[in-house]
Structure 1
Amino acid sequence: MNGKGTKAAKAEYKQIMQKNIATFFDKTREIASLTGDKLSSAFNKETHRFTITGLSRSGKSMLFTSLITMLKSRSEEGYACLPLLRYLPPSQVLDMHIEPIDGYKPFPHIQNIEDLENGQWPKATEEAFGFKLVVRLKETASLKRHVLPHSDVVFEFIDYPGEWVTDIPMLSKTYAHWSDSAWAQLSSGPQQYFANQWKAFVNQFDFEQEPTEQRIQLLVNAYRDYLVDAKANGISLLQPGSFLLESSDFDWQAFGFTPLPSSITSDVSHPWFNIFDKHFAKFQNGWLTPLKQSIFKETDKQIILVDLFEGLNHSRQHLYQLKETLSHLADTFVYGQSTWFSRNVLKKEQIGKVAFVATKSDLIPVSQRGNLLSLLMQITEGARARFDGKPIQFEHFLVSSMQVTDDGSNEDAIRYKDTDGRYVESTFEPIPSTLKEMEEGSHFPVPDVSVPSDYKARILAGKGVDRLLQFLLGKGEQE
């Protein structure tokens, strides 16, 4: 490098350093001007960012509703719920309140409670909701409390449709690759029983005709009909899931696409390939990429909700597909152990704690929950394989956001109110602890439970949430 180049580089370096030093002193003066509550907020705020991943019907909205209700009752009413949660001792809680997160609609907690009051379960999530749960704890250390009278523990949650989760892996595929893999899925597993009408439609469709707007809509609507039917029958791996949401910001009617026969996707000059390839690129760049950047932010803790009953209620093939789906979803997130440098300097997080949660565990007797936990561990094998060689803590949990059933007359029975308002008892045969134990063609009916009139008391009696929070908030060996 010549002398002029060296001088210019030195001048640029000096300018950058002066700017950084000025920024540092600005921050120092800003903090020095703080007193009391503001000083405590600046130094004594602990933020936990959670990504809660769950497929459609996995119980995310009910878990959020129950969590807020439990914590508010614990802090404001002194109710002895969440007994194992040592991290937030009730005697130290000064206040708890909910704040919005910029760019998100507030979580509809009050609306969900009103739905429960009217005997209806909270509506399925069809758009993103965000909220912060701020818990203010009084400082107990005698010296520290004179300077920092309290500390804030902030929980950031995002609730989003489960259909979005299954779409994110499409970012790593070309249209041709996705189309071929979608056809493979349609021809195997439980999907094959619901895709016959779609396949027949494609077989009689004339792809020699130009892809006019009307013909595209005919094809896309027929494929969407398959998606709707498959979802209603418990299929978990459906793409694009965004096409199932009426409130989706992606205009699938104008820019929809479907899988095409390989004879078309192998011909890059084919008009139908060209139009769907363009629509697929718009779906990726105009919808999925911004979605991943805004919703699926890097966080340090993850809860993966799993509804095993959806598979148990249908077939062993449904459970095998659920295992495959969870394995694919694990590729969407960044796993590893965040360091102080990565968190505070690089502003990047990696997920270092993962909780696999089987929801609605109160729908079976206590005697069968050991088998349910064992089944959960097998279903998550593929996802956990993504953790190999990485310092990640993980555990499996059984959770009931609301204890909707009571003990039956024997250890294999439960009692509950059905949707007709009758108080009934159901006796269970042992549920399988492994996939091999579930015979081909067998299924385990799920109790059709109504919303209990004493729903709040049953939320506060929910099981497993305290153990889940204690694991996620507790200080691990590597933290």
Structure 2
Amino acid sequence: MRLAVTGLSRAGKTVFLTSLVANLLAAGQGARTLPALEAASGGRLRGARLVPAGTESTPRFDAAGHVAALAADPPRWPERTEDLSTLEITLDLAPASLLGQAREMVAGGRRVTLELLDYPGEWLLDLPMLAQSYADWSRGTLARLRRGRRAAAAAAFLDFVDALPDRVPDEDAIARHGYMLYRDALRTCRDELGFRFLQPGRALNPGPKGEAPILWFFPLPKPEEGGLAALLARRHAAYLADQRAAFFDPFFRRFHRQAVLVDALGALHAGEEAFDDTAEALAAIAAALRDGGGLFDMLTGQGVKRVAFAATKADHVPGRARDALVGLLGDLVGRDPAGPLGAATSVHAVAAIRCTEDDVAVLDGRPVAAVRGLLLEGGKAAKVYPGEVPLRRPAPDFWDHAFFEMPVFQPPRLAGDGRSGVPHLGLDALLTALIGDLL
């Protein structure tokens, strides 16, 4: 059974997979790290182990290295994903019936192999591009770049493309200069403004191929002209063909279940424009996964049966706000119970590694629900009132007095090599929604 873990940039995919692997291995040793999944399986999980690396060419997800970072003194967050990687875990299950027990005596026990895929979140935003021509992509991208704070971040690039004369020749020096200005604008939008709807993904994270000429394209105000526009259109088409051949076809077509991670709290903290940008990106991804037709068939081979959307870092808000977080994410992705090809959809709030405990703080003389943890900067204990989480996409007046604090907490230090599991919130419920039927 193949599970893809995808998500918007910096939603915590590497942390999620590290916790998933550590807790499944611990559960296989009898630790009660995933109670909801244990209940779904009827307590039949007998063991879990990593499948040794074979001769595959795809990099292996370094679960042991990431767990070692959490076990260090002081503990460190695992490094974020920079390339695609995979890992396999075998789960040994006791039979569920007398017939199963009889079959086990003849054919051996039941075993489920879980194949996991981790890849840079920036690449996920290439998914909606696959249905767009260069001209359509140019118009949509420039429209976003000219709005609000994006326009200031992309000022140098916008000045460049707006000053181009008609019928610019297809010179590589012009194309590369424009690409570098565009890439720098995307980086500023991501790193300083918290935006996520940024394409193409490999402009921000080129992967092992580096910044090859196939990446040297950018949106133009007059994308149908010849010369430079024709060159950029060819590179746009070649880029999409390469992404299909190297990534979407060989990987996405083979997966049966998907987890899509979203840092909805970080988007709230970054302000109205960043939140709206995240919502737009999420809507485009959800549409590509749900709308059916040729794009869905091409990517999934009709194999995806369950999709779980998860709002990460749920431990940054107190318990009563987590239901609101689920409601907010559900409002953003839509509440269709199933896609056209039968992919059941669920929405969750998750902290793959729990860093806080619920507490009570005093704000303006009144008690408010808060969280308590160690701050990453300096390691000092802090009690934080993060602010209110809206139940649905905020109305415009929300931002007039919006307050939402997102501190960076230190991860808990794991004992030994993580054999007793990793503390989390909601990971077991999410896994139950994705793979509970298989166990």
What's the TM-score bracket when you normalise by the shorter of the two chains?
A: 0.7 to 0.9
- Displacement of 1:299 after TM fit? 3.1
Q: What does residue 283 of structure 2 align with?
A: 327
Match status 1:427 vs 2:385: yes
- Displacement of 1:227 after TM fit? 0.8
- Displacement of 1:208 after TM fit? 6.2
- Displacement of 1:95 after TM fit? 4.5
Q: TM-score, normalised by structure 1?
A: 0.78
Amino acid at match of 1:302: Q
Q: Tell me how far apart the structure 1 counterparts of residues 312 and 303 of structure 2 sit (CA, whole Å).
A: 25
What is the alpha-carbon root mean square deviation over aligned residues? 2.9
- Displacement of 1:89 after TM fit? 5.5
* Identity %, equivalent residues: 24
- Displacement of 1:390 after TM fit? 5.3
Contact 2:387 2:403 in 1 (8 A): no
Q: Secondary structure at the match of 1:69?
A: helix
Q: TM-score, normalised by structure 2?
A: 0.85
Contact 1:402 1:459 in 2 (8 A): no
Amino acid at match of 1:222: L
Q: Tell me how far apart the structure 1 counterparts of residues 278 and 91 of structure 2 sit (CA, whole Å).
A: 36
Q: What does residue 466 of structure 1 align with?
A: 428
Q: What does residue 181 of structure 1 align with?
A: 140
Q: Tell me how far apart the structure 2 counterparts of residues 392 and 214 of structure 1 sit (CA, whole Å).
A: 46
Amino acid at match of 2:76: Q
Q: What does residue 354 of structure 2 align with?
A: 403
Amino acid at match of 1:450: Q
Unaligned stretches of 5+ in structure 1? 1-47, 337-341
- Displacement of 1:356 after TM fit? 1.6
| 2:35 alignment partner, one of 72, 75, 83 | 83
**1:7-406 to 2 correspondence within 5 Å?**
48-76=1-29, 78-85=30-37, 86-88=39-41, 92-100=45-53, 102-118=56-72, 119-139=75-95, 141=98, 142-188=101-147, 191-205=150-164, 210-232=169-191, 233-249=193-209, 251-253=211-213, 255-262=215-222, 265-267=223-225, 270-333=226-289, 348-381=301-334, 384=335, 387=338, 391-406=342-357
1:253–1:451 Cα change, 3 Å: farther
Contact 2:162 2:221 in 1 (8 A): no
Contact 1:99 1:133 in 2 (8 A): no
Match status 1:417 vs 2:371: no
Contact 1:412 1:429 in 2 (8 A): no
Contact 1:139 1:148 in 2 (8 A): no
1:430–1:280 Cα change, 3 Å: closer
- Displacement of 1:230 after TM fit? 0.7
Q: What does residue 32 of structure 1 align with?
A: none
Q: Tell me how far apart the structure 1 counterparts of residues 220 and 423 of structure 2 sit (CA, whole Å).
A: 50
- Displacement of 1:184 after TM fit? 1.4
Q: Tell me how far apart the structure 1 counterparts of residues 92 and 424 of structure 2 sit (CA, whole Å).
A: 24
Cα deviation digits, residues 2-50 of structure 1 (max 9, x gap): xxxxxxxxxxxxxxxxxxxxxxxxxxxxxxxxxxxxxxxxxxxxxx222
User: What is the aligned residue count?
Assistant: 414
1:97–1:207 Cα change, 3 Å: same
Q: Tell me how far apart the structure 1 counterparts of residues 84 and 160 of structure 2 sit (CA, whole Å).
A: 34
Q: Tell me how far apart the structure 2 counterparts of residues 463 and 207 of structure 1 sit (CA, whole Å).
A: 56
- Displacement of 1:277 after TM fit? 1.7
Contact 2:134 2:233 in 1 (8 A): yes
Contact 1:362 1:403 in 2 (8 A): yes
- Displacement of 1:475 after TM fit? 3.7
Q: Tell me how far apart the structure 1 counterparts of residues 357 and 36 of structure 2 sit (CA, whole Å).
A: 22
Q: Secondary structure at the match of 2:209?
A: coil
